[in-house]
Chain A
């Protein structure tokens, strides 16, 4: 929509400059119609593929729609939402989502920054590092999940388990124990997406002005002081951007967890997204599943809204 507003402003600006006579006004209308015609296909496509399904989702969430009990279907208003607030599994999946998101984002930024600082000083092999780093990012999360599940974490057979046995920790049931399973899915997500933070922060580190550091060195600021007082504040916009992007993705993560644990064992790694999926497509309660999806949407909006506010502040 903003596209059309800008265009019409620009068009009327031209019209004003040319003087307000009827011929120009007709021309102006024509231009505006032309602009609208150019915009319409994309706008309609967007409306049909995003806005309409979203509205339909919200609409569906006010119905009882159980494929298993078609006779009980009907409009229920906000009852799905009141059920949801009283559903302990909703709260537990929400907290799993939040723990998952917070820990993966913090780990990604911390590790990504550390790697970027390390690689920054490498002059010759930096290019090679970048290529290696990008590899996990380009893999499909489902493939990553399958690899970790079968090659890395399988007890007795997996690489991680082999390392654990050799390190004297003994064989662990990485995906069969509730706590270990949660740690495993966090590690997997972090492994895949840390390179993203690393790349962004490396690029932004490279663009920092050298003269400030030089001045700091002349003032005999220590390395730590330079990092805390110069690097971090200058990197802040990049860090906040990475945090926002990764948070939104982590909140709606699906494929990797689905293939690795499917939310299990029990419900130990069942994030909200997965619970909504199971309610809708396994249990076939489309109405309640939609309400869960809307709840996830609201949570995502609130959190990213908060982060955007943080970005603007200061």
Chain B
């Protein structure tokens, strides 16, 4: 065991160095591109962008088109600030662990990384990352009138704040919505579900596995960011509350009803393989026409509309979450934000802040989305102003009916920051709930037994 861990860490470091090199070399080639770029919109900010010239920072991101677009623009940032930035791509399944290992060992390898909003409690409890308000309010570092922090979508901002302190600035985000086949719904005279009951009846009406069309699919694979991501919304819609009398509770009548609904839906109307599916698998199946509806991130629309693979382009429409028995719609929201590693020397922290400010600014958000010179346009820009920009909404409308409206409404009215319990123990609790959901789905345990077992495991985790 010991040997494995040591080897693994060393191996990861070597791998990290190698991948950093691989990322860096095309960045050098693009240097020429930066010289022609117009930096005037940035220079209009009343700060000295060059004050930390010569610093080098490493940024960990996931391999995704929205970060690729940012990496492509990095030479512009280097030209603007004189700060060298190296990117390292880490698959989403490993980025949390690698970040935690870096933060806990205080090596300061990653000046900032694409962070899971559910991890800020853990980071803050260990003082691994900096509260960002001081940077935001420092006139030498931030031009408030230029940066317009409040323009960033409120749901994502609050998700990255704890007790009124900001820990990460959202770069790209998502919100979950209903995605359905307009043509199939119209053929049967169905409307997008307004509540969970009609979501099930819609799925039942279109379920025809013999013709290779399954009614629906939700995430089945176990993980705090996988099945729990969707289950949490269902749990809250059934009136569930993570804290009962101040005690974190994952079982009880509402939880049983919610998990029962999920298991029933998955068993009756989803492909059997969906019990191991994450969102890309669902979106792939939908794009091949084998799934009639699903509920997942609005950003999966880019997979569903992939011109090379999808067979359903032009037949897709979107709607907000169906309402639960409690009368609430609860959407799961998510964003990749950038925190500042507290183990860095002061000057590098500030250099990192300049990077974060650049990446999250309206100008960069535009340059990486509709103004980006490449095929992938981002669907998760962080700013309300861009979402109201006709140049952007016109592009987004191409994803299908009601896309922009459903996304915006979900972001504004269907979510609150506590749709998942924001506690430092979340990684453990999320994993435990994920296992319980999968146990119930696979029939290893009944719904009640699985949840009670999860509760029994969660209790000692919360004890100090």
Measured CB to CB, the residues of A under 8 A from B are: 49-50, 53-54, 56-57, 67-72, 89, 149, 154-157, 171, 173, 175-178, 181, 252, 254, 262, 264-268, 273, 276, 278, 281-285, 293-294, 296-297
Contact = CB atoms under 8 A, between A and B. Distances in A.
Nearest to A297: B1
A178 B443 contact: yes
A266 B445 contact: yes
B122 A173 contact: no
B3 interface: yes
Given A71-B464, A264-B438, A265-B441, A284 B428 contact: yes
A71 B182 CA distance: 53
Interface residues of B, number: 41
Contacts of B428: 68, 282-285
Contacts of B272: 155-156, 171, 173, 176
B2 A293 contact: yes
A262 B2 contact: no
Contacts of A49: 3, 6
B276 interface: yes
A154 B6 contact: no
Task: Name the 9 nearest CB pairs between A and B, nearest first.
Answer: A266-B439, A265-B442, A283-B428, A293-B1, A176-B275, A266-B444, A53-B2, A68-B424, A173-B272
18 contacts: A49-B3, A53-B6, A56-B2, A57-B2, A68-B425, A68-B426, A69-B425, A155-B271, A173-B273, A176-B441, A266-B442, A266-B445, A267-B439, A278-B431, A281-B97, A282-B428, A284-B122, A296-B1
Contact of B443 (A72, A177, A262, A273): A177
Contact of B444 (A69, A154, A178): A178
Contacts of B443: 177-178
B2 A157 contact: no
A141 to B, nearest CB: 13
Interface in B435-449: 435-436, 438-445
B104 A67 contact: yes
A68 B430 CA distance: 13
Contacts of B97: 281-282
B4 interface: yes
Contacts of B126: 67, 70
B421 interface: no
B100 interface: yes
A265 B424 contact: no
Contacts, number: 117
A267 B444 contact: yes
Nearest to B456: A88
B100 A53 contact: no
B125 interface: yes
B421 to A, nearest CB: 12
A78 to B, nearest CB: 17
Given A178-B444, A264-B442, A284-B428, A252 B273 contact: no
Contact of B1 (A67, A149, A276): A276
A54 B443 CA distance: 39
Given A57-B2, A284-B428, A293-B1, A68 B275 contact: no
Contacts of A69: 125, 424-425, 464
A278 B429 CA distance: 12
Nearest to B7: A49
Contacts of A181: 442
B244 interface: no
B250 to A, nearest CB: 15
A199 B1 CA distance: 28
A178 B442 contact: yes
Contacts of A171: 272
B222 interface: yes
A86 B426 CA distance: 23
B442 A268 contact: yes
Contacts of B457: 89
Given A69-B125, A293-B1, A176 B276 contact: yes
Contacts of B104: 67
Nearest to B432: A283
Contacts of B273: 154-157, 173, 176
B430 to A, nearest CB: 9
